[in-house]
């Protein structure tokens, strides 16, 4: 059998991010179905989101200590095993357990274990691959999360159209074939470690003493919250708040969001050397804030869906851009730095949708979504500090 090359490694990483997109975004497409079929409240739906990203956050935190010990391959294989089992559980357990919501919780938790490991391990694997265009490779990697999201919305909508929404239970099991296949790929591809063995990674206490790293940590929280607050609630908001059909809402809302987010990440990857990263992040934060206002306050449903799509365009650069800043200024940060930044991102991914869900339950769908503007606002503030005080903050260790 011919040995696999680093191109296959990169392909496995891309498919890993598609798998993460599946486990993160399939359930939100079914929120209104869960609400109707299992009588699940908005608060309980918000808890599913919080559990998903909260578990991923816990995995990020634990991974700081165990990833380098167990190795990249074992971590990648474990991640995809969890995703496979979690997706199967999501479609199976609600129908065989006395409490259907409990079955959903178990499936979400197992999925979250896989998604958290993917978030921690895939970026360092790509960063360690031979080649000089690391920023472009990293941005393209993160764009595959978006294309996975597009595939989830598009193919799932096709499934609902052909089979009917009442047959949704089989859909997660079909999606489980993706991480299952990627297990076979990750078992064979060549892998490299992130840091040369002759060098020692910077200890975390050193990173957290740097003001610039603390700002990056805050930016990752805001990036995750700005993205997922819209992403996780867009389908329900379109169907229940804007009262458009599920197909129209999902295609012009979450699907358009994902397409524009992916295109912005590809553009960032191709033009990375020609743009000012900090200023690009500033523009992204401003457009993101505007997109939330358009989504909430537009009197026209299609324009509100356009605001949702615009949000995808604006948040696309936030996550990989912050990773690229960290790699530039902390080249010896190592796997632990990526894990800590992923932890911050997942903290935002839990906080953003969680805040929206809590406020939605106590007020209205629009008010809950409006509350999320605090996150792009904080991102703008953080980038402003970086631009105004560069000398103090940008000292390379």
Tens-place pLDDT, residues 302-329: 999 999 999 999 999 898 888 878 877 7
Residue 396 has pLDDT above 50, yes or no: no
31-45, 72-86, 312-326, range with the lowest pLDDT: 312-326
Mean local confidence (pLDDT), 224-239:
91
The HSE-up count of residue 140 (CA atoms within 13 Å, CB side) is 14
Domain annotation covers residue 87 = yes
**215 neighbors 385 (Cβ within 8 angstroms):** yes
What integer best gives the mean pLDDT of the chain? 87
Give the C-alpha distances (Å, rounded to integers) separating 241 from 132, 341, 353.
Answer: 47, 34, 16
**357 neighbors 43 (Cβ within 8 angstroms):** yes
Report the candidate in 18, 124, 61, 1 with the shortest Cα–Cα distance to residue 347.
61
Q: What is the pLDDT of residue 365?
A: 86
For residue 360 the two structure tokens come to 């939605």
Q: What is the pLDDT of residue 228?
A: 92
Categorize the per-residue pLDDT at 61 as very low, low, confident or very high, splitting at 50, 70 and 90.
confident
Q: What is the pLDDT of residue 356?
A: 92
Q: What is the pLDDT of residue 279?
A: 87
Domain annotation covers residue 1 = no
What is the rounded distance in angstroms from the CA atom of residue 360 to the CA atom of residue 368? 4
Residue 374 has pLDDT above 70, yes or no: yes
What is the rounded distance in angstroms from the CA atom of residue 251 to the CA atom of residue 38? 25
Q: What is the pLDDT of residue 241?
A: 83
Mean local confidence (pLDDT), 378-396:
74
Mean local confidence (pLDDT), 93-110:
96
What is the rounded distance in angstroms from the CA atom of residue 88 to the CA atom of residue 96? 13
Mean local confidence (pLDDT), 187-191:
91
260: CATH:
1.20.1250.20
Residue 359 has pLDDT above 70, yes or no: yes
**200 neighbors 349 (Cβ within 8 angstroms):** no
Q: Which stretches of the chain are DSSP H helices?
A: 6-29, 31-38, 42-70, 72-92, 100-128, 134-163, 170-175, 177-186, 204-208, 211-236, 246-250, 256-271, 277-297, 301-315, 318-329, 334-362, 365-370, 374-388, 390-393
Q: What is the pLDDT of residue 99?
A: 94
Q: What is the tally of structural domains in the chain?
A: 1
Domain annotation covers residue 56 = yes
Q: What is the pLDDT of residue 313?
A: 94
Categorize the per-residue pLDDT at 397 as very low, low, confident or very high, splitting at 50, 70 and 90.
very low
Mean local confidence (pLDDT), 213-217:
90
Residue 198 has pLDDT above 80, yes or no: no
Residue 110 has pLDDT above 90, yes or no: yes
Domain annotation covers residue 272 = yes
Domain annotation covers residue 2 = no
Q: What is the pLDDT of residue 154?
A: 92
Q: What percent of the chain has pLDDT over 70?
A: 89
Site of tokens 């769908």: 365
Domain annotation covers residue 212 = yes
**23 neighbors 87 (Cβ within 8 angstroms):** yes
Q: Provide the residue range defining the domain that includes 111.
A: 7-393
Q: What is the pLDDT of residue 142?
A: 75
Residue 131 has pLDDT above 80, yes or no: no
**312 neighbors 327 (Cβ within 8 angstroms):** no
Q: What is the pLDDT of residue 342?
A: 77
pTM: 0.82
Q: What is the pLDDT of residue 178?
A: 97
Maximum alpha-carbon separation in the chain: 61
Categorize the per-residue pLDDT at 385 as very low, low, confident or very high, splitting at 50, 70 and 90.
confident
Give the C-alpha distances (Å, rounded to integers) separating 275 from 147, 268, 283.
Answer: 24, 8, 12
Domain annotation covers residue 310 = yes
Mean local confidence (pLDDT), 3-27:
92
Residue 196 has pLDDT above 60, yes or no: no
Q: What is the pLDDT of residue 197?
A: 44
């Amino acid at each position: 059998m011919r040995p696999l090359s680093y191109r296959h490694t990169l392909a496995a990483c891309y498919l890993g991010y598609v798998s993460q997109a599946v486990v993160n975004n399939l359930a939100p497409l079914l929120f209104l179905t869960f609400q109707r079929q299992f009588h699940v409240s908005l608060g309980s739906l918000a808890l599913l989101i919080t559990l998903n990203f909260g578990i991923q956050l816990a995995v990020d935190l634990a991974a700081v200590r165990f990833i380098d010990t167990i190795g990249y391959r074992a971590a990648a294989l474990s991640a995809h095993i969890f995703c496979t089992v979690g997706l199967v559980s999501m479609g199976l357990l609600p129908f065989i357990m006395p409490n259907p919501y409990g079955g959903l919780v178990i499936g979400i938790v197992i999925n979250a274990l896989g998604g958290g490991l993917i978030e921690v391990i895939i970026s360092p694997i790509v960063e360690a691959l031979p080649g000089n265009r690391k920023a472009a490779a990293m941005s393209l990697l993160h764009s595959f999360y978006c294309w996975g999201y597009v595939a989830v919305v598009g193919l799932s909508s096709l499934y609902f159209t052909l089979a009917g929404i009442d047959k949704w239970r089989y859909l997660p099991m079909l999606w489980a074939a993706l991480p299952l296949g990627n297990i076979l790929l990750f078992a064979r591809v060549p892998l490299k470690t992130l840091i040369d063995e002759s060098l020692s990674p910077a200890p975390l206490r050193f990173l957290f003493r740097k003001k610039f790293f603390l700002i990056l940590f805050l930016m990752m929280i805001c990036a995750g919250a700005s993205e997922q607050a819209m992403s996780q609630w867009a389908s329900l908001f379109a169907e229940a708040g804007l009262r458009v059909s599920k197909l129209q809402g999902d295609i012009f809302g979450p699907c358009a969001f994902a397409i524009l987010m992916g295109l912005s990440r590809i553009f960032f990857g191709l033009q990375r050397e020609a743009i000012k990263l900090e200023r690009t992040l500033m523009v992204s934060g401003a457009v993101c804030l505007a997109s939330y206002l358009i989504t909430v306050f537009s009197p026209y449903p299609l324009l509100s869906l356009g605001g949702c799509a615009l949000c995808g365009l604006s948040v696309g650069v936030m996550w990989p851009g912050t990773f690229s800043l960290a790699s530039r200024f902390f080249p010896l940060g190592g796997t632990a730095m990526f894990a800590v930044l992923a932890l911050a991102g997942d903290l935002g991914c839990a906080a953003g949708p969680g805040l929206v869900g809590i406020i939605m339950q106590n007020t209205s769908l629009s008010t809950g979504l409006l509350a999320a503007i605090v996150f792009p606002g904080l991102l703008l503030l953080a980038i402003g500090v970086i631009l105004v005080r560069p000398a103090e903050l940008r000292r390379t260790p």
